[in-house]
Chains A and B, each alone.
Chain A
Amino acid sequence: MLSFVLIFIASLFFTGIVVRTKSLASGRKGPGIMQPMKDIWRSLRKGAVYSNTSSDIFQIAPSIYFASILAAMMVVPLGSQKGLVSFSCDFVFFAYVLALGKFFSIIAALDTGSSFEGMGASREALFSMLAEPAFFILMGSLGLLTGNTSFHDIFMNLHIGSYLSYALVTIACFVLIMICMIENSRMPIDDPKTHLELTMIHEVMILDNSGFDLGLILQATNLKFAMYGALIANLFIGNWPLYVSIPVFFGIQFLLAIVAGIIESFMARFRMGNNAQFILALSSLALLMLFGVLMS
């Protein structure tokens, strides 16, 4: 329960911090931290325009996408505090629930009959397919390291002590950050601020969404970011008491947002054609982690 609420709170500030970091890095003052939330709030209260090509799928898809993120958040723990639900192999549930959300966001993009949105949909499907094994190998290695098979048990028993574990957690951290960037369609895979539809992934899929649905999608993205932030935070928290773990949680979320902002300020987006190799390389990095675990 606690992690669910904390992720929600963190999501409110996340994009604001990313945007602020980017502005500061480029020498601008930038909008307030809460500006993205204000935009979402405005979208939620606005009316909508629907494409005359679209069907009911287009109307239900954003809500299902949002619900899938909520359901995935349920299983994310916070240190010694379990998530809303916790069971053996809950990370399989996590990944597959997110896949359902993705399925709906993809078919909603195809529903508009646009020549661009299918392009984003195709990339989203391909890239998340390629990122899938990295996540599973990562969770498998952590599971093997601790001898457990659920998020909560794995993170509870993850003790950072030996030199090897420093190396493992560094790799895990990097892989998770990269998966987070891929899943949220941020740099270096996708540039959310590009102006050309041909080079977008996530943004081009939601070109036709407006009003409440757009607000839901934007907030879902924030939640997704904070959710992956929570997973990264869990790598470090272990079984610390709450008065330590909660500040650490927010500290790591803050750091992740700044890292995301800095990556976006100082890196160019990869060539679309090379993304596939880059994402697959993540899996080999995750495999490296498995070998590290097997060595220990």
Chain B
Amino acid sequence: MTDIIFSALALVLGILFVSLAPSRIKPWLNLLAVFAVGVFSSMAAVGVLLGNPIDNIVATLPIFGDVAVRVDALSAWFILIVNFTCLTGAAYGIGYMRAYSERKSALTLHWIYFMVFQSSMLWVCMLQNMLAFLVAWELMSLSSLLLVMFESEREDTQKVGLNYMIQMHLGVAFLTVAFIWVYLKTGSLDMSAIGTFFAGNSNVWLFLLLFIGFGIKAGFIPLHSWLPHAHPAAPSHVSGVMSGVIVKMGIYGIIRVIAYLQTDYMLIGKVLLSISLLTGIFGIVNSAVHRDFKRVLAYCTIENIGIIGIGLGLGLIGLGLQNPIITMIGFVGALLHVLNHSLFKSLLFFTSGSIYQQTHTRDMEKLGGLIKQMPKSAFIFLIGALAIGGMPPFNGFVSEFVIYSGLFYGLNNAGMLHSIMMILSIATLSIIGGASVMAFTKCFGVIFLGQRRSHLHSEPVEVPILMRLPQYIIIVVMMSVALVPSFYIGAAQQVVSTLIGAQVAAVPVGVVGAMTSIGRYSLLFLGIIGVVLAIRFWLTSRQPSSVGPTWGCGYLAPKSSIQYTGKSYSKTLGKLLGGVLVEKKEYDELVEGEVFPKERQYVSHYSDFFEIRIFNGILTKWVELLNKFQFIQNGQLQQYILYGLGFVIAVLICSLFNWL
């Protein structure tokens, strides 16, 4: 508990020093404060994982009641992830924000928001009083909003910020309603009251409310539409942290609620599994067609939320079947993927920040051949891309393998009806894997390989070591997950067994043991690659080699503009899935009588299916309806006073007849 108090103190001191210090050392002070907060809260979290859970009532306030700070294994797991990602984000941000160093006051505020952002996420994990939780949740949403809005003078950023703010508050509204409902039924504001509620009432409806509230943060479809806007607009170290951990706070909330569920596991599990499968596939095919590379990553976040959700759904189905092994594998897979995704997604966002900083564009079709100017960033991006595609020998494979194992185990042991569900999940997961190969070969290939596709205003150079160092650290951690998965799987297993103790007590050690051996085979694979490469370079070093132009199939004057583009790379997929990948084209049709060719413009871009086809329609209708009531707000002071008078009279009459 003292650790947690120290971490709060570190935050206060951090804010104080960052506001007073000279602007040159502000980012460093921010890093120091994030580090201090991180160390103290991580110490508490590690202590919890080692078996000393924290359960204190820090204050008894009016309205709030007892405010409990409770850190269990689940909170500890998320606290560690939040701290690591925030730390690398703060370190990367030092180099990234140098480009904006003339905006001193904005930067000071930026760093303060960053510290508040980290602490608020930690508090979300710790606070177990519903009202206090909502306050922390709101603090997290607002601080991240202010971080996103760094370039607030730009019109598109303002639009994105407004969108983000409204959607987040929609989520809060759902959470508030759910919490009030629990309070009315149980008379307690402690989180554990949700469990009391579930024990005596139908589980489905409250879960639905909470799922919508948390799901907006997490980005399950159709609640995802803020993600593809907010992530590209934010500065890259912020988008890394947002995609890495803030969406995971939604997952944290969902897991927390799942742990309190008492009945209806099967129904909720199946629905969650189906939504997650759709989320995964929707995210990745969108990510394969977009050309703004930060938006590609944002959609890919949606895909990974889907994969995490598949794990959670599987775990719930295991609970419904009372099969401890399926339960365990499902939840462990989900928790592991939460960790893995926070690592490689922040890595990829940081690299995309480096690209943006050097080229000032997020449109990959304008880039190309960057591997020659930025070889190290290219290497980092490649590692991230391979890991996010779930390929061995990287960490994404470990969690996907665990989820696959669970699905195959479920296939053989869950009975006929569930077998069909399992096989469809397996098939969908395999399509997700294939599509992510497509998305990331495109992303890597178009940005880094081939030739430059357009003129850039300044020649890009490799980013300084200061920006690359945090990324190397992430890679080291990623490889440790990939090659020594037993440590992480063991920890995740412990989290699950403390969370839903009784039902998973009977898991034989061998089942999870088999999954941990995957690290050895990844290492073996790495070894084979090393041997083949060594032989190849040893043999070819003695053979003559020469350099010539790319074979143009007989065409002798190739230019960079005739290269295959990202758009055409994914066009076939776009056409195949024309129903969900909404392509908007803007061009002038040829008119009769136009004989001579002249300059024309052709614009084509993809839009979000749910936003364009569903929400926009509903919203336009809604706005039309509300516009009918415009006469109420007509700007005349006299009428407003009349409204007030009318209200007072209404109250008077009501109290006269005792109606209130």
Residues on A lying within 8 angstroms of B by beta carbon are 44-57, 60, 62-64, 66-68, 70-71, 74, 85, 87-89, 92-93, 95-97, 99-100, 102-103, 106-107, 110-119, 121-123, 125-126, 128-130, 132-133, 135-137, 140-141, 143-144, 147-149, 197, 207-208, 211-213, 216, 276, 283, 287, 290, 294
Which single member of B416, B437, B446 contacts A129 (CB below 8 Å)? B437
List chain A residues, Cβ under 8 A from B420.
Answer: 290, 294
Structural contact, B525 and A144, CB atoms closer than 8 A: no
Which single member of A51, A125, A136, A148 contacts B430 (CB below 8 Å)? A136
Determine the residue in chain B with the shortest Cβ distance to A47: B544
A-B contact pairs, 29 of them (CB 8 A): A48-B545, A52-B548, A53-B451, A57-B449, A70-B528, A87-B514, A87-B521, A92-B405, A96-B391, A96-B392, A96-B397, A100-B392, A103-B389, A107-B444, A107-B449, A112-B550, A113-B369, A113-B451, A116-B553, A117-B564, A121-B564, A122-B571, A125-B437, A129-B434, A136-B427, A140-B422, A143-B408, A148-B412, A211-B543
A132 to B389, CA, bound (A): 14
CB proximity of A74 to chain B, nearest CB, Å: 8
B517 lies within 8 A of chain A by Cβ: yes
Structural contact, A99 and B450, CB atoms closer than 8 A: no
Structural contact, B569 and A212, CB atoms closer than 8 A: no
A60 to B379, CA, bound (A): 13
CB proximity of B139 to chain A, nearest CB, Å: 41
Given contacts A55-B371, A126-B438, A143-B408, contact A48 B540 (CB under 8 A): yes
Structural contact, A47 and B545, CB atoms closer than 8 A: yes
Residue of A51, A96, A123, A287 ringed by the most chain B CB atoms within 10 A: A96
A281 to B47, CA, bound (A): 54
B419 lies within 8 A of chain A by Cβ: yes
A118 to B441, CA, bound (A): 10
Determine the residue in chain B with the shortest Cβ distance to A286: B427
List chain A residues, Cβ under 8 A from B518.
Answer: 87, 93
CB proximity of B161 to chain A, nearest CB, Å: 36
CB proximity of B306 to chain A, nearest CB, Å: 16
Residue of B518, B546, B569 ringed by the most chain A CB atoms within 10 A: B569
CB proximity of B384 to chain A, nearest CB, Å: 13
CB proximity of B133 to chain A, nearest CB, Å: 38
Structural contact, A140 and B408, CB atoms closer than 8 A: yes
List chain A residues, Cβ under 8 A from B419.
Answer: 144, 290, 294
A140 to B424, CA, bound (A): 10
A232 to B623, CA, bound (A): 61
Determine the residue in chain A with the shortest Cβ distance to B561: A115
A113 to B549, CA, bound (A): 10
Which single member of B369, B423, B545 contacts A49 (CB below 8 Å)? B545
CB proximity of B91 to chain A, nearest CB, Å: 28
List chain B residues, Cβ under 8 A from A53.
Answer: 369, 450-451, 549-550
A154 to B250, CA, bound (A): 40
Given contacts A113-B369, A122-B570, contact A49 B548 (CB under 8 A): yes
16 extra interface residue pairs, beta carbon distance < 8 Å, beyond A103-B440, A121-B564, A143-B408? A50-B545, A50-B548, A51-B551, A57-B382, A89-B405, A95-B430, A96-B392, A106-B441, A107-B441, A110-B564, A112-B550, A125-B441, A129-B435, A137-B427, A144-B419, A294-B419
Determine the residue in chain B with the shortest Cβ distance to A128: B434
Residues on B lying within 8 angstroms of A by beta carbon are 368-369, 371-372, 375, 382, 386, 389-392, 397, 400-401, 404-405, 408-409, 411-412, 416, 419-420, 422-423, 426-431, 433-435, 437-438, 440-442, 444-446, 449-451, 514-515, 517-518, 521, 524-525, 528-529, 531-533, 536, 539-540, 543-553, 555, 558, 560, 562-565, 568-573, 576
Structural contact, A97 and B525, CB atoms closer than 8 A: yes
Structural contact, B426 and A136, CB atoms closer than 8 A: yes
Which single member of A93, A132, A211 contacts B433 (CB below 8 Å)? A132
Structural contact, A112 and B430, CB atoms closer than 8 A: no
List chain A residues, Cβ under 8 A from B401.
Answer: 89, 92-93, 96
A118 to B540, CA, bound (A): 26
A92 to B514, CA, bound (A): 14
Structural contact, A113 and B368, CB atoms closer than 8 A: yes
A162 to B562, CA, bound (A): 58
Structural contact, B437 and A99, CB atoms closer than 8 A: yes
Structural contact, B564 and A114, CB atoms closer than 8 A: yes
Determine the residue in chain B with the shortest Cβ distance to A98: B391
Structural contact, A129 and B438, CB atoms closer than 8 A: yes
List chain A residues, Cβ under 8 A from B428.
Answer: 133
Residue of A57, A115, A144 ringed by the most chain B CB atoms within 10 A: A115
Structural contact, A64 and B569, CB atoms closer than 8 A: no
List chain A residues, Cβ under 8 A from B529.
Answer: 63-64, 67-68
List chain B residues, Cβ under 8 A from A96.
Answer: 390-392, 397, 400-401, 433
List chain B residues, Cβ under 8 A from A85.
Answer: 521, 524
Structural contact, A133 and B430, CB atoms closer than 8 A: yes
Which single member of B430, B434, B543, B570 contacts A47 (CB below 8 Å)? B543
Structural contact, B449 and A212, CB atoms closer than 8 A: no
A116 to B568, CA, bound (A): 11
Determine the residue in chain A with the shortest Cβ distance to B535: A63
List chain A residues, Cβ under 8 A from B441.
Answer: 103, 106-107, 110, 121, 125
List chain B residues, Cβ under 8 A from A48.
Answer: 540, 543, 545-546
Determine the residue in chain B with the shortest Cβ distance to A125: B438
CB proximity of A230 to chain B, nearest CB, Å: 18
Structural contact, B564 and A118, CB atoms closer than 8 A: yes
Given contacts A85-B521, A211-B543, contact A122 B412 (CB under 8 A): no
Which single member of A67, A136, A149 contacts B525 (CB below 8 Å)? A67
List chain A residues, Cβ under 8 A from B412.
Answer: 143-144, 147-149
List chain B residues, Cβ under 8 A from A74.
Answer: 524
A130 to B543, CA, bound (A): 40
Which single member of A52, A56, A141, A212 contacts B540 (CB below 8 Å)? A212
List chain B residues, Cβ under 8 A from A126.
Answer: 438, 572-573, 576
CB proximity of B66 to chain A, nearest CB, Å: 47
Structural contact, B434 and A294, CB atoms closer than 8 A: no
List chain B residues, Cβ under 8 A from A114.
Answer: 550-553, 558, 563-564
A228 to B327, CA, bound (A): 34
Given contacts A52-B549, A55-B372, contact A63 B434 (CB under 8 A): no
Determine the residue in chain A with the shortest Cβ distance to B520: A85
Which single member of B408, B528, B552 contacts A149 (CB below 8 Å)? B408
Structural contact, A137 and B426, CB atoms closer than 8 A: yes
List chain B residues, Cβ under 8 A from A92.
Answer: 400-401, 404-405, 408
CB proximity of A148 to chain B, nearest CB, Å: 8
Structural contact, A63 and B533, CB atoms closer than 8 A: yes
A116 to B553, CA, bound (A): 8
Structural contact, A111 and B445, CB atoms closer than 8 A: yes
List chain A residues, Cβ under 8 A from B400.
Answer: 92, 96
Determine the residue in chain A with the shortest Cβ distance to B522: A93
List chain B residues, Cβ under 8 A from A106.
Answer: 437, 441, 445
List chain A residues, Cβ under 8 A from B547.
Answer: 49-52
List chain A residues, Cβ under 8 A from B552.
Answer: 114-115
- Ranked nearest first, the 9 interchain pairs of A and B with the lowest CB-CB distance are A118-B564, A129-B434, A110-B445, A113-B450, A47-B544, A133-B427, A51-B550, A132-B430, A125-B438
List chain B residues, Cβ under 8 A from A52.
Answer: 547-550
List chain B residues, Cβ under 8 A from A110.
Answer: 441, 445-446, 449-450, 564
Structural contact, B392 and A97, CB atoms closer than 8 A: yes
List chain A residues, Cβ under 8 A from B433.
Answer: 95-96, 99, 132
List chain B residues, Cβ under 8 A from A212.
Answer: 536, 539-540, 543
List chain A residues, Cβ under 8 A from B555.
Answer: 115
Structural contact, A51 and B572, CB atoms closer than 8 A: no
Determine the residue in chain B with the shortest Cβ distance to A275: B572
Which single member of A50, A111, A136, A276 contacts B572 (CB below 8 Å)? A276
A279 to B514, CA, bound (A): 33
List chain A residues, Cβ under 8 A from B411.
Answer: 140, 143-144
A96 to B482, CA, bound (A): 14
A123 to B564, CA, bound (A): 12
A53 to B551, CA, bound (A): 11
A147 to B548, CA, bound (A): 55
